[in-house]
Amino acid sequence: MRYANLKRIGAGVAAAGLVLLVGATSASASDGGGTQRCAEYGWNYKTYSRTDNWRIPTGVHWKHGPGGTVSASRESTQTATISVSMGVSVSYSAIVAEAEATFGIDASASSSRSETIGYSRKISSNTRYGHVQFGNWGYRMGVKKYYVNSACAVTSSYTGTVTKMPSANVWGYYYWETAA
């Protein structure tokens, strides 16, 4: 099989899910009723062994052949949304209004952009079939969830795999060929 990637770098936000496959557990989750003395007290996560450019297919799978050219086109909507890091609830519209008044800018709590993205490729042989599918180029990685009690001891631990973690801004077409 032949493989090729066409990636699009944009300023969109990926809207997709995270799948966690859970493995074995260990000891109990009791913290002994002690006071909180540990900075990591409670449930924590650690990720490891990241694989980049993990293909996450979305939408239609186009197939053409044998021979010729395979083409695909899709309309894509990308959205950017305000994000505020504070320890209290905030009003996005109030923050936008304040920024517009202070800096004389035209801002929004959420902004979207639609575009049509196309892809076309000649199939390498008159006996082969070309395939095209749009998708996200995200990540795959290991994940560990663990509980730390007030004495800073790990009392429960779970391991798993993040099978699909979309990239926020890398989308594109994936091309491959088959004999049938």
Per the document, the length of the chain is: 180
| Strands 129-148 and 170-178, bridge-based pairing | antiparallel
DSSP H helical ranges for the chain: 92-103
Tokens read off for 141: 């990685």
Look at residue 22 in the predicted model and tell me its pLDDT. 39
Residue 78, φ and ψ in degrees, nearest 5: -115, 140
The C-alpha angle 84, 10, 137, rounded to 5 degrees, equals 100
Q: Yes or no: say if 6 and 119 are a contact pair by the CB < 8 Å rule.
A: yes
Look at residue 41 in the predicted model and tell me its pLDDT. 92
Q: 3 by DSSP, 3-state: which?
A: strand
The residue ranges of DSSP E strands in 31-169, in sequence order, are 42-64, 69-81, 110-122, 129-148, 154-165
Residue 31, φ and ψ in degrees, nearest 5: -105, 10
Place of tokens 């996560």: 45
User: How far is it, in rounded angstroms, from Cα 89 to Cα 100?
Assistant: 20
Q: What's the chain's Rg over C-alpha atoms?
A: 23
Look at residue 113 in the predicted model and tell me its pLDDT. 53
Q: 146 by DSSP, 3-state: which?
A: strand
Please list, in sequence order, all residues whose beta carbon lies within 8 angstroms of the beta carbon of residue 29, skipping any fewer than 6 positions away: 147, 155, 156
Instruction: pLDDT tens for the chain, 180 residues: list them.
Output: 444 444 443 333 333 333 333 343 333 344 455 555 788 898 878 777 778 888 888 778 999 999 999 999 877 775 555 555 444 445 667 666 666 766 666 666 665 556 688 899 999 999 999 999 888 877 777 777 889 999 999 998 887 777 777 666 677 889 999 999
The residue ranges of every structural domain in the chain are 3-73+119-178
User: How far is it, in rounded angstroms, from Cα 30 to Cα 153?
Assistant: 10
